[in-house]
Amino acid sequence: MKTPVVVATVVVLLVVSAPAAAQEPPSLPPTGAVTPVLVSPAAPAPAFPPAAPAPTLPPPTTGSALPAYGYPPGSTYPPGYGYPPGYTYPPGYGYPPSYAYPQGYVYPQAYPAYPQGYAPYPAYAPATALPDTETPVVAPTGRWRLGIAAMIVPTGTLSYSLNYRGEAQLAFSGQTAATGGVRPFAQVDILRFNQLRVQLGLAIQILPTIKWANPSLSTANNNAFSGSGYEVDVLPELAIGVNVLPRLRLVAFAAPGYSFLSASDLASKTYVDPGTVRGFVVQGGAEITGSFGQHFFLDGRLANQWGFQGSEVGSPTSGETWNAEVHTNLFTVQVGCGYWF
């Protein structure tokens, strides 16, 4: 009789204690402890519920792109993943226009990436202050000059004497009237040393009209003389100049040459016609030359010329040879232009 009573008491205690045990949470193992799991080799593998099928997207509508869009390499997002609004896409990643992404969100088209090495804007160097520089002066570099000058002879003197065996038989002296002429010339620099220049030149000087009258001195008699003629001078020239500026040159020159003076009317008041007298002539003075660029130039000079011309004439009475001598002293002003090459 006692055995059934004991069994019943145990059963009642087990039933009463079971709900309380179920309400207490199971004790967890301490941090870092490993909980052993005993698996019976004979026990079968636990059965898991079947995996949920992958979500499928609705078929694309007409005119839209495929939803299965390729993500960048290395992306771990599942196919059809919809980015939340405001998501920042990789730089330069271009999405098709009006692409219908999941949830109906339409993302704007991104600008295409620039090619490698392409600079959208040129790289300008930082602005730097340039030094103040003046335009270099263009000075002539050639050695030759060709030009022509106009001449004015405002004043001068002319003396004439007729000599027989060294003695003056007739002598007149007077002042020349103002006249003009022309002088074509050529010059070349033969030596250049720093700013010093040595040059040679050749000029042909033409005075188409020389007039004389009103004697100021008479050594043989008081007969007045008057007349006119023309003169042609060939003048080689030696000059030394200094370039005071790159385009400005000052020159001193001497030009000894040969002269021809037609003086048929020289002795209109006498009985001897000297004809054309010829002889030595020398000219000296100063010149200034200014250049414009590489070639064109202007020049001006002041010069004085002394002439020593003469000829032999026959006496109209005795036929003996007489000597006619003419001395000239002319002051000239010359202005010219030319080409430097």
Nearest to 329 by CA among 97, 157, 195: 157
pLDDT value, residue 217:
47
Which uninterrupted H or E stretch holds 20?
A: helix 2-23
Which segment of 38-47, 50-59, 81-90 scores lowest on mean pLDDT? 38-47
pLDDT value, residue 32:
47
Dist. CA 20–CA 209, nearest whole Å: 157
Q: Which residue has the higher pLDDT, 267 or 100?
A: 267
Which segment of 135-139, 243-247, 260-264 scores lowest on mean pLDDT? 135-139
pLDDT band of 267, cuts 50, 70, 90: low
DSSP structural state of residue 30: P
Average pLDDT, stretch 202-226? Answer: 71
The Cβ of residue 164 has, within 10 Å, a number of other Cβ atoms equal to 14
pLDDT value, residue 167:
83
pLDDT value, residue 40:
46
- Look at residue 34 and tell me whether its pLDDT is greater than 50: no
- Look at residue 31 and tell me whether its pLDDT is greater than 60: no
What single letter denotes the amino acid at residue 106?
V
Please write the tens of the pLDDT for every residue from 146-176. 999 999 999 899 888 888 887 887 777 888 8
Task: Report percent pLDDT > 90 for the chain.
Answer: 35
pLDDT band of 321, cuts 50, 70, 90: confident
Please write the tens of the pLDDT for every residue from 69-100. 555 655 555 555 565 666 665 665 555 555 45
Q: Which residue has the higher pLDDT, 100 or 112?
A: 112
Domain ranges of the chain: 144-340
| pLDDT mean across residues, the chain | 75
For the record, the structure tokens of 225 come out as 């003389």
Beta strands in the chain (DSSP E): 144-164, 167-176, 179-193, 196-217, 227-245, 248-262, 276-292, 296-314, 321-340
Average pLDDT, stretch 292-315? Answer: 91
Residue 117, exposed/middle/buried by CB under 10 A (0-12, 13-18, 19+)?
exposed
pLDDT value, residue 207:
96
pLDDT value, residue 203:
97
* Class of the CATH domain delimited by 144-340: mainly beta
Which uninterrupted H or E stretch holds 3?
A: helix 2-23
- Look at residue 298 and tell me whether its pLDDT is greater than 70: yes
Please write the tens of the pLDDT for every residue from 121-134. 666 666 676 666 66
